[in-house]
């Protein structure tokens, strides 16, 4: 009995951390601060995966999924992001499209929207963890918002990663995680996409002189 409440509390803490780090990514303007925030978020996601694997009837695959997710989100992705950051040192979101205070209000609105959108998922899934699914969708929506309103290349990559963390969280909370082969494929695609974006950031810095996406205005109709 006592053990169950402890696990429950840890689970709630991890879900809270997911949401808190997403809002934190909107709040901090220094792009260097985004990397530890994302690492903590990856850790929280891994914790959720581990707790689900512990309670899973067919544990072997679920443990492997948790290990892969942990490696990817806590080690590999932060490593790649640090390499991107080295290209554009001291980058700050000096003038985000929407200022920070408004962004935080928007995040609150997006969370409400996520609760509304997640209703069918919560209604269908049987597991008690499914009630936390809106947290995953909130991450996805906040990720969209970040990617759409920021000027720095690294901010857009972080937005993309927030969306991906949100999708992964939704999958864990609503379905106990997708099958192992699919999860492996998704992870491989994510690493490659971030690698590609890292190389493209390097080329952008090389051809444009910095990682400001406002310079992308050659192509239009």
Partner 1 sequence: MNLALLDPVAGPVAGALLGPVAAPVAGALLAAVLPRRVAAWTSLLAAASVLAAGIALAAHTGQGATITAGLLRADALTAWLVVAVGAVATVACWAGVHHLADRARHGDLTPAAARRYLVLVQAFLACMTVAVMAANVGLFWVAVEATTVVTAFLVGHQRTRASVEAAWKYVVLCSIGVGIALLGTICVYAAAIAAGPAPLGGLEALNWSYLNQHAAQLDPGLMRLAAGLILLGFGAKAGLVPMHAWLPDAHSQAPAPVSALMSGVLLSVAFYGILRYKSVIDAALGPTYVRTLLLVAGLGSLALAALLLIGQRDYKRLLAYSSIEHMGLIALGTAIGGRLAIAAVLLHILGHGLAKAVAFCGAGHILHQVGSPLITHVHGALARTPATAGLFGLAVVALLGLPPFALFASEITLARAGFAAGMGAVVAAAFLLVLVAFAAIARRAAGMLLTPSPTSPSAPAEHPGPRPGLRWLPLALGLVAAAGLGIWLGPLQPLLDSAALIAAEGIR
Alpha carbon distance 56, 193 (integer Å): 31
Backbone angles phi, psi at 155, to 5 degrees: -65, -40
Q: With binding defined as CB under 8 A, does residue 178 bind partner 1? A: yes
Q: HSE on the CB side for 170, CA within 13 Å?
A: 21
Q: With binding defined as CB under 8 A, does residue 112 bind partner 1? A: no
Size of the site for partner 1 (CB under 8 A): 48
Q: Which stretch binds partner 1 (CB under 8 A): 45-53, 84-92, 94-102, 190-198?
A: 190-198
Q: With binding defined as CB under 8 A, does residue 196 bind partner 1? A: yes
Q: With binding defined as CB under 8 A, does residue 87 bind partner 1? A: no
Q: With binding defined as CB under 8 A, does residue 186 bind partner 1? A: yes
CA 132 → CA 30, 59, 92, 165, distances in Å? 30, 22, 33, 14
Inter-residue contact 26 to 104 (CB < 8 Å): yes
Alpha carbon distance 70, 154 (integer Å): 22
DSSP-assigned states of every residue in 11-74:
HHHHHHHHHHHHHHHHH--BGGGHHHHHHHHHHHHHHHHHHHHHT-SSHHHHHHHHHHHHIIII
Q: Which of residues 40-59 bind partner 1 (CB under 8 A)?
A: 58
Nearer to partner 1, 27 or 208 (CB): 208
Nearer to partner 1, 1 or 219 (CB): 219
Nearer to partner 1, 10 or 213 (CB): 213
212: helix, strand or coil: strand
Binding track over 116-155 against partner 1, x by CB under 8 A: -x-xxx-xxxx-------------x---x--x-----x--
Candidate list 16, 102, 182, 210; residue touching partner 1; CB under 8 A: 182
The residues of the shown chain that bind partner 1, judged by CB under 8 A, are 58, 117, 119-121, 123-126, 140, 144, 147, 153, 156, 160, 163-164, 167, 170-171, 174-175, 178-179, 181-182, 185-186, 188-189, 192-193, 196-197, 199-200, 203-204, 206-208, 213, 215-219, 221
């Amino acid at each position: 009995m006592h053990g169950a409440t402890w696990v429950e509390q840890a689970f709630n803490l991890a879900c809270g951390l997911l949401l808190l780090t997403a809002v934190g990514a909107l709040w901090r303007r220094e792009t260097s601060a985004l990397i530890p925030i994302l690492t903590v978020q990856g850790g929280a996601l891994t914790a959720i995966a581990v707790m689900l694997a512990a309670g899973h009837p067919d544990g072997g695959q679920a443990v492997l999924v948790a290990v892969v997710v942990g490696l990817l989100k806590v080690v590999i992705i932060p490593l790649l992001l640090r390499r991107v950051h080295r290209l554009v040192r001291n980058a700050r979101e000096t003038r985000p499209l929407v200022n920070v205070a408004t962004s935080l209000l928007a995040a609150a609105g997006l969370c409400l929207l996520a609760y509304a959108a997640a209703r069918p998922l919560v209604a269908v899934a049987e597991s008690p963890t499914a009630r936390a699914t809106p947290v995953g969708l909130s991450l996805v929506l906040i990720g969209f918002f970040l990617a759409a309103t920021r000027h720095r290349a690294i901010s857009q990559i972080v937005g993309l990663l927030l969306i991906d963390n949100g999708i992964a969280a939704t999958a864990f909370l609503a379905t106990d995680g997708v099958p192992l082969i699919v999860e492996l494929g998704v992870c491989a695609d994510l690493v490659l996409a971030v690698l590609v974006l890292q190389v493209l950031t390097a080329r952008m810095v090389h051809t444009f002189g910095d990682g400001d996406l406002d310079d992308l205005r050659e192509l239009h109709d």
